[in-house]
Structure 1
Protein backbone atom coordinates (compact mmCIF):
# COMPACT_ATOMS: atom_id res chain seq x y z
CA UNK A 1 0.00 0.00 0.00
CA UNK A 2 2.83 2.39 0.84
CA UNK A 3 4.54 1.59 -2.51
CA UNK A 4 1.28 2.36 -4.32
CA UNK A 5 1.17 5.71 -2.54
CA UNK A 6 4.74 6.53 -3.56
CA UNK A 7 4.13 5.57 -7.20
CA UNK A 8 0.84 7.47 -7.38
CA UNK A 9 1.21 10.53 -9.62
CA UNK A 10 -2.24 11.99 -9.02
CA UNK A 11 -2.14 14.80 -6.51
CA UNK A 12 -1.89 18.50 -5.95
CA UNK A 13 1.42 20.32 -6.13
CA UNK A 14 1.66 23.77 -4.59
CA UNK A 15 3.59 25.96 -6.95
CA UNK A 16 4.30 29.66 -7.19
CA UNK A 17 1.58 30.06 -9.83
CA UNK A 18 -1.06 28.51 -7.60
CA UNK A 19 0.01 30.66 -4.65
CA UNK A 20 -0.28 33.77 -6.85
CA UNK A 21 -3.72 32.75 -8.12
CA UNK A 22 -4.94 32.00 -4.59
CA UNK A 23 -3.62 35.35 -3.37
CA UNK A 24 -5.42 37.22 -6.15
CA UNK A 25 -8.64 35.35 -5.42
CA UNK A 26 -8.48 36.25 -1.72
CA UNK A 27 -7.78 39.91 -2.49
CA UNK A 28 -10.69 39.97 -4.93
CA UNK A 29 -12.92 38.35 -2.33
CA UNK A 30 -12.02 41.00 0.24
CA UNK A 31 -12.78 43.82 -2.20
CA UNK A 32 -16.08 42.18 -3.15
CA UNK A 33 -17.15 41.77 0.48
CA UNK A 34 -16.24 45.39 1.16
CA UNK A 35 -18.47 46.49 -1.72
CA UNK A 36 -21.31 44.36 -0.36
CA UNK A 37 -20.82 45.93 3.08
CA UNK A 38 -21.09 49.46 1.64
CA UNK A 39 -24.22 48.52 -0.32
CA UNK A 40 -25.90 47.01 2.77
CA UNK A 41 -25.08 50.07 4.87
CA UNK A 42 -26.53 52.36 2.18
CA UNK A 43 -29.74 50.30 2.00
CA UNK A 44 -30.11 50.27 5.79
CA UNK A 45 -29.64 54.05 5.75
CA UNK A 46 -32.52 54.26 3.25
CA UNK A 47 -34.71 52.10 5.50
CA UNK A 48 -33.88 54.32 8.47
CA UNK A 49 -34.76 57.42 6.45
CA UNK A 50 -38.08 55.87 5.42
CA UNK A 51 -38.97 55.08 9.03
CA UNK A 52 -37.82 58.52 10.18
CA UNK A 53 -40.01 60.28 7.59
CA UNK A 54 -43.19 58.73 8.98
CA UNK A 55 -45.36 61.32 10.69
CA UNK A 56 -46.51 59.89 14.02
CA UNK A 57 -48.69 62.83 15.01
CA UNK A 58 -52.23 62.10 16.16
CA UNK A 59 -55.18 63.77 17.84
CA UNK A 60 -58.64 62.86 18.89
CA UNK A 61 -61.42 64.85 20.48
CA UNK A 62 -63.18 64.10 23.72
CA UNK A 63 -66.78 63.03 24.05
CA UNK A 64 -69.34 64.16 26.59
CA UNK A 65 -72.95 63.43 27.53
CA UNK A 66 -74.89 66.08 29.35
CA UNK A 67 -77.27 65.14 32.13
CA UNK A 68 -80.89 65.33 31.16
CA UNK A 69 -81.83 66.91 34.48
CA UNK A 70 -79.81 69.11 36.82
CA UNK A 71 -77.03 70.16 34.44
CA UNK A 72 -73.45 68.93 34.34
CA UNK A 73 -72.07 65.89 32.60
CA UNK A 74 -73.31 62.36 32.84
CA UNK A 75 -70.11 61.02 31.27
CA UNK A 76 -67.14 62.38 29.39
CA UNK A 77 -63.74 61.45 28.04
CA UNK A 78 -60.93 63.82 27.40
CA UNK A 79 -59.22 64.24 24.06
CA UNK A 80 -55.52 63.92 23.43
CA UNK A 81 -52.90 65.05 20.93
CA UNK A 82 -49.30 64.42 20.03
CA UNK A 83 -47.23 66.47 17.60
CA UNK A 84 -44.30 64.60 16.03
CA UNK A 85 -41.13 66.70 15.91
CA UNK A 86 -38.18 66.17 13.60
CA UNK A 87 -35.54 63.98 15.23
CA UNK A 88 -31.78 64.44 14.93
CA UNK A 89 -31.27 62.04 12.02
CA UNK A 90 -34.64 62.25 10.23
CA UNK A 91 -34.65 62.83 6.47
CA UNK A 92 -30.99 61.92 5.94
CA UNK A 93 -29.56 64.62 8.19
CA UNK A 94 -27.04 62.12 9.57
CA UNK A 95 -25.19 60.32 6.81
CA UNK A 96 -23.86 56.87 7.65
CA UNK A 97 -20.60 56.30 5.82
CA UNK A 98 -17.18 54.83 6.42
CA UNK A 99 -14.53 57.27 7.58
CA UNK A 100 -11.13 57.56 5.98
CA UNK A 101 -8.33 55.61 7.68
CA UNK A 102 -6.50 57.50 10.43
CA UNK A 103 -2.92 56.85 11.47
CA UNK A 104 -2.28 55.74 15.00
CA UNK A 105 -0.91 58.33 17.37
CA UNK A 106 2.07 57.94 19.67
CA UNK A 107 1.67 55.67 22.68
CA UNK A 108 0.89 57.33 25.98
CA UNK A 109 2.58 56.22 29.15
Structure 2
Protein backbone atom coordinates (compact mmCIF):
# COMPACT_ATOMS: atom_id res chain seq x y z
CA UNK A 1 0.00 0.00 0.00
CA UNK A 2 2.82 2.41 0.79
CA UNK A 3 4.38 1.54 -2.59
CA UNK A 4 1.17 2.70 -4.33
CA UNK A 5 1.04 5.96 -2.35
CA UNK A 6 4.71 6.67 -3.14
CA UNK A 7 4.10 6.00 -6.84
CA UNK A 8 1.14 8.39 -6.89
CA UNK A 9 3.09 11.02 -4.96
CA UNK A 10 6.05 10.89 -7.35
CA UNK A 11 3.95 10.72 -10.54
CA UNK A 12 4.24 14.01 -12.52
CA UNK A 13 2.41 12.98 -15.70
CA UNK A 14 -0.45 15.49 -15.30
CA UNK A 15 1.57 18.38 -13.90
CA UNK A 16 1.75 20.41 -17.13
CA UNK A 17 -1.96 20.04 -17.84
CA UNK A 18 -2.83 21.11 -14.27
CA UNK A 19 -0.60 24.20 -14.48
CA UNK A 20 -2.20 25.20 -17.78
CA UNK A 21 -5.68 24.74 -16.34
CA UNK A 22 -4.82 26.89 -13.34
CA UNK A 23 -3.48 29.62 -15.64
CA UNK A 24 -6.54 29.53 -17.90
CA UNK A 25 -8.90 29.49 -14.90
CA UNK A 26 -7.12 32.48 -13.35
CA UNK A 27 -7.38 34.49 -16.56
CA UNK A 28 -11.05 33.54 -16.90
CA UNK A 29 -11.85 34.62 -13.33
CA UNK A 30 -10.08 37.95 -13.77
CA UNK A 31 -11.99 38.54 -17.00
CA UNK A 32 -15.28 37.72 -15.28
CA UNK A 33 -14.54 40.14 -12.42
CA UNK A 34 -13.93 42.98 -14.87
CA UNK A 35 -16.99 42.02 -16.90
CA UNK A 36 -19.25 41.81 -13.85
CA UNK A 37 -17.99 45.18 -12.68
CA UNK A 38 -19.08 46.71 -15.99
CA UNK A 39 -22.41 44.88 -15.83
CA UNK A 40 -23.04 46.23 -12.31
CA UNK A 41 -22.20 49.79 -13.42
CA UNK A 42 -24.52 49.59 -16.45
CA UNK A 43 -27.38 48.02 -14.45
CA UNK A 44 -27.14 50.93 -11.99
CA UNK A 45 -27.27 53.40 -14.86
CA UNK A 46 -30.30 51.72 -16.43
CA UNK A 47 -32.16 51.57 -13.12
CA UNK A 48 -31.38 55.25 -12.59
CA UNK A 49 -32.84 55.97 -16.05
CA UNK A 50 -35.99 54.04 -15.18
CA UNK A 51 -36.33 55.96 -11.90
CA UNK A 52 -35.86 59.25 -13.73
CA UNK A 53 -38.51 58.25 -16.26
CA UNK A 54 -41.01 57.52 -13.47
CA UNK A 55 -40.10 60.79 -11.76
CA UNK A 56 -40.67 62.80 -14.92
CA UNK A 57 -44.21 61.54 -15.48
CA UNK A 58 -46.69 64.39 -15.22
CA UNK A 59 -48.99 63.37 -12.37
CA UNK A 60 -51.24 66.42 -12.48
CA UNK A 61 -54.91 65.60 -12.80
CA UNK A 62 -58.23 67.22 -12.21
CA UNK A 63 -61.87 66.66 -12.98
CA UNK A 64 -64.71 69.11 -12.93
CA UNK A 65 -67.69 68.79 -10.69
CA UNK A 66 -71.21 68.36 -11.97
CA UNK A 67 -74.39 69.99 -10.80
CA UNK A 68 -77.99 69.37 -11.63
CA UNK A 69 -81.43 70.30 -10.33
CA UNK A 70 -81.34 68.04 -7.29
CA UNK A 71 -77.67 67.78 -6.40
CA UNK A 72 -74.07 68.24 -7.34
CA UNK A 73 -70.58 66.98 -6.75
CA UNK A 74 -67.41 68.94 -6.37
CA UNK A 75 -64.39 68.40 -8.58
CA UNK A 76 -60.88 67.52 -7.55
CA UNK A 77 -57.42 68.74 -8.42
CA UNK A 78 -53.91 67.48 -7.68
CA UNK A 79 -50.71 69.27 -8.60
CA UNK A 80 -47.48 67.27 -8.52
CA UNK A 81 -44.60 69.23 -7.03
CA UNK A 82 -40.93 68.71 -7.89
CA UNK A 83 -39.27 66.19 -5.58
CA UNK A 84 -35.63 65.71 -4.80
CA UNK A 85 -34.14 63.04 -7.11
CA UNK A 86 -36.66 63.72 -9.90
CA UNK A 87 -33.81 64.75 -12.19
CA UNK A 88 -31.77 62.34 -14.24
CA UNK A 89 -28.15 61.53 -13.40
CA UNK A 90 -28.64 61.73 -9.62
CA UNK A 91 -26.88 58.40 -9.05
CA UNK A 92 -23.14 58.46 -9.54
CA UNK A 93 -21.14 55.23 -9.55
CA UNK A 94 -17.77 56.88 -10.14
CA UNK A 95 -17.33 58.27 -6.62
CA UNK A 96 -14.14 57.27 -4.82
CA UNK A 97 -14.57 55.27 -1.62
CA UNK A 98 -14.37 57.20 1.61
CA UNK A 99 -13.08 56.08 4.96
CA UNK A 100 -15.13 55.75 8.10
CA UNK A 101 -15.48 58.77 10.32
CA UNK A 102 -15.07 58.31 14.04
Deviation track 1:13-59 (CA, whole Å, cap 9, x = no partner) reads 412x3322221110110000110111111111111111110010011
- The count of residues paired between Structure 1 and Structure 2 equals 91
- Alpha carbons 1:45, 1:96 under 8 Å: kept: no
Aligned partner of 2:37 in structure 1 is: 34
Give the alignment partner of residue 87 of structure 1, picking from 57, 60, 83. 83
For residues 27 and 45 of structure 1, what CA distance do their matches in structure 2 show? Answer: 27
- Alpha carbons 1:64, 1:75 under 8 Å: kept: yes
Give the alignment partner of residue 52 of structure 1, picking from 51, 55, 60. 55
For residues 14 and 45 of structure 2, what CA distance do their matches in structure 1 show? Answer: 46
Gaps of 5+ in 1: 1-5, 67-73
Relative to the length of structure 1, the TM-score reads: 0.69
Question: Quick check: 1:78 aligned with 2:78?
Answer: no
Aligned alpha-carbon RMSD (Å): 2.6
- Alpha carbons 1:62, 1:78 under 8 Å: kept: yes
- Alpha carbons 1:59, 1:81 under 8 Å: kept: yes
Q: Which has the higher helix share?
A: 2
For residues 103 and 90 of structure 1, what CA distance do their matches in structure 2 show? Answer: 29
Gaps of 5+ in 2: 1-7
Q: Report which of the two structures shows the higher radius of gyration computed on alpha carbons.
A: 1
For residues 28 and 102 of structure 1, what CA distance do their matches in structure 2 show? Answer: 26
